[in-house]
Amino acid sequence: MSNVLRLAVVDPNDATRESLKAMLLGMDSVWLEAECSRYEFFADVIAQTHPEIGVVNLDKDPEKALDLVAKVNEASPDCNLLVVSSSTDGKLILRAMRAGAKEYLTAPVKLQDLLDALSRITERKFGKGEGKSRGCSVIAVGGATGGVGTTSVAVNLGCALAKDPKNSVCLVDLDLCLGDCDVFLDTIPDYSLTDVSQNISRLDFQLLKRSLTKHSSGLFLLPRPVNISDIALIKPDDLQRVLGLLKATFTHLVVDLSKSYNALDQTVMQMATHVLLVTQVDLPCLRNVVRLMMSFQEMDGMADKVKIVFNRVGLEQGAISLKKAQETMGREVFWQIPNDYRTMVEVRNNGVPLIEQAPKAPVTQAIIGLGNALNGEVSKPAEAPTEEAKAGKGGLFSFWPSKK
């Protein structure tokens, strides 16, 4: 599990509870595990859900709330208690701390105060420096056009990451109409993205993992809906909640985007750590890369996340040089994956990922290297080969200005 903190909240006042809940749902670093409107039930909620943090609002009945803090502190010492009150009375603050509260926040809670309190609790829980757990890396994989190998990259990248015992990885198939991640992994899932999104309010970490399909590589899969009619049931808000729970559960989340870059795809891209734009070195693909990048630059912070991945390098010998392609895009190529048609056909038809079927093949090593680069374990991006395919001086791109 990543260092996302799971919280449970008790506040008999509906208005203040909903206000805090809205604040928490907008934070990637926390997951709201449970909420409660009665002090009497909260100790049992903590015992059943085992959150890292319990938030107790004192205002409705300070005496009962302080008794609850002491009870939870004794029964569930691993749960860090954070109390909230509109009172700034020093005696009340002292009593709350003596009862076992780790933090005291004044209502109405300010976002920065909450972030600071959670940061202090995180440091106490995970420690500082290298021993601290990583957050979740969300990798959105999209294509410049159909047929460039987006799903192959997503599936095999997920399996390669999952082979590392330090990682826990989930793959989400967001090509809701024609996605085939399950075929690449030769699995028949019991549940789909529709099932999870429609039941997100009832899911916890254990139930979520039981809703996913686990592959032999260690990769968990959340596939696209079985029925096309179910696609309309998945809304951006539901997807955001699903991704939030997955981020709190896994160290890596790989999402195979659709080809339409619709509202659901954009929801994922906004939440992503990295956006891999998979393309080939040909005119239609490169033209779409330029077009897509123009659109991404209009989205706040999106263009900086995008990393260009050239797939099937070597397939179009003598057509367009990689140097010319980079000049045309105005961006460096982050990674290159060599063309290996025979191996890729075998793994696709057998439903076995590269890491298991052909672990020493150059294409497999390139995928592993891509995963390492995204984890920051490789400091220098892949460079274009020194021998480039020949292209005319004006070439196919004379109508686009070169960017250097």
Q: Residue 331 — very low, low, confident or very high, per pLDDT cuts 50/70/90? A: confident
Domain assignment of residue 80, given as a range: 5-131
Mean pLDDT of 234-259: 89
Report residue 148 as tokens. 């460039």
Q: Are strands 137-143 and 252-256 parallel, antiparallel or unpaired?
A: parallel
Bridge partners (DSSP) listed for residue 6: 31
The answer to whether residue 177 scores a pLDDT higher than 80 is yes
| Of residues 138 and 245, more confidently modeled | 138
Tokens of 348: 């696709």
Given a contact cutoff of 8 angstroms between Cβ atoms, the answer to whether 216 and 185 are in contact is no
Q: Are residues 197 and 307 in the same domain?
A: yes
What percent of the chain has pLDDT above 90? 65
Boundary (domain end) residue, out of 63, 98, 131:
131
> For residue 127, with 0-12 CB atoms within 10 Å meaning exposed, 13-18 middle and 19 or more buried, which class applies?
exposed
For the ranges 150-159, 285-294, 343-352, 388-397, which has the lowest average pLDDT? 388-397
Domain boundary among 131, 151, 167: 131
pLDDT at 324: 87
Q: Could you tell me if residue 71 is inside a domain?
A: yes
Same domain, 203 and 325: yes
Is position 340 within any domain?
Answer: yes
Distance linking the first and last C-alpha atoms of the chain: 42
pLDDT number for residue 130: 42
The residue out of 78, 113, 131 marking a domain boundary is: 131
Question: Which CATH number is 261's domain given?
Answer: 3.40.50.300
Amino acid at 401: P
Query: 57 — phi, psi (to 5°)?
Result: -90, 125
The pLDDT confidence band at residue 319, using thresholds 50, 70 and 90, is: low
- Confidence (pLDDT) at 398: 38
State the average pLDDT for the chain: 87
Q: Which residues contact 52 (CB under 8 A, 6 or more apart)?
A: 5, 6, 7, 78, 79, 80, 121, 125
Same domain, 161 and 290: yes
pLDDT at 321: 81
> Rounded to an integer, what distance in angstroms lies between the CA atom of residue 361 and that of residue 365?
6
Whether 233 has a pLDDT exceeding 70, the answer reads yes
Both 106 and 152 in one domain: the answer is no
- CATH code of the domain in which 101 resides: 3.40.50.2300
- Global model pTM greater than 0.75: no
* Residues 108 and 207 reside in one and the same domain: no
- How wide is the angle at C-alpha 223 spanned by C-alphas 154 and 8, nearest 5°? 100
**How far is 383 from 36, CA to CA, in rounded Å?**
55
Residues 18 and 165 in one domain: no
117 and 266 share a domain? no
Q: Determine the Cα angle at 132 with ends 372 and 300, to 5°.
A: 65
Q: Which amino acid is at 344?
A: M
Residue 148 in this model has a pLDDT that exceeds 80? yes
* 148 and 31 in a common domain: no
pLDDT given for residue 6 in this prediction: 86
Q: Which helix (H) or strand (E) holds 120?
A: helix 111-126
With 60 as the cut, is the pLDDT of residue 111 above it? yes
In terms of Cα–Cα distance, which of 116, 144, 154 is closest to 278?
144
**Mean pLDDT over residues 376-399, rounded?**
45
- Is the residue at 92 inside a domain? yes
Q: Which of 197, 375, 364 is nearest to 273 (CA)?
A: 375
Per-residue pLDDT, 378: 62
Residue 342 lies in a domain: yes
Q: How far apart are the C-alpha atoms of 214 and 197, rounded to whole Å?
A: 19
What does the chain come to in residues?
A: 404
402 band by pLDDT with thresholds 50, 70 and 90: very low
The confidence score (pLDDT) of residue 318 equals 56
Which has more pLDDT, 315 or 147?
147
Give the model's pLDDT for residue 126. 61
Is omega for the bond preceding 51 within 30 degrees of 0, making it cis? no
Lowest-confidence pick of 170-174, 359-363, 383-387: 383-387
pLDDT given for residue 395 in this prediction: 42
Q: Spell out where 244-332 has E strands.
A: 252-256, 274-279, 306-313
Has residue 351 got a pLDDT over 70?
Answer: yes
Report the percent of the chain where pLDDT is more than 70: 87
Are 103 and 241 part of one and the same domain?
no
Residue 129 has pLDDT above 90, yes or no: no
Give pLDDT tens digits for 19-77. Answer: 898 888 767 668 888 999 999 999 999 999 999 999 999 999 999 999 999 999 999 99
**Which of 58, 55, 63 is closest to 103 using CA atoms?**
55
pLDDT at position 128, please? 56
| Domain assignment present for 237 | yes
Same domain, 308 and 201: yes
Res. 256: pLDDT tops 70: yes
Number of domains in the chain: 2
Residue 403 lies in a domain: no
Kindly state whether residues 310 and 330 are assigned to the same domain: yes
| pLDDT surpasses 80 at 1 | no
Q: 389: which 2 tokens?
A: 């395919």
| Angle, vertex CA 290, rays to CA 285 and CA 296, nearest 5 | 115
* Per-residue pLDDT band at 124 (split at 50, 70, 90): confident
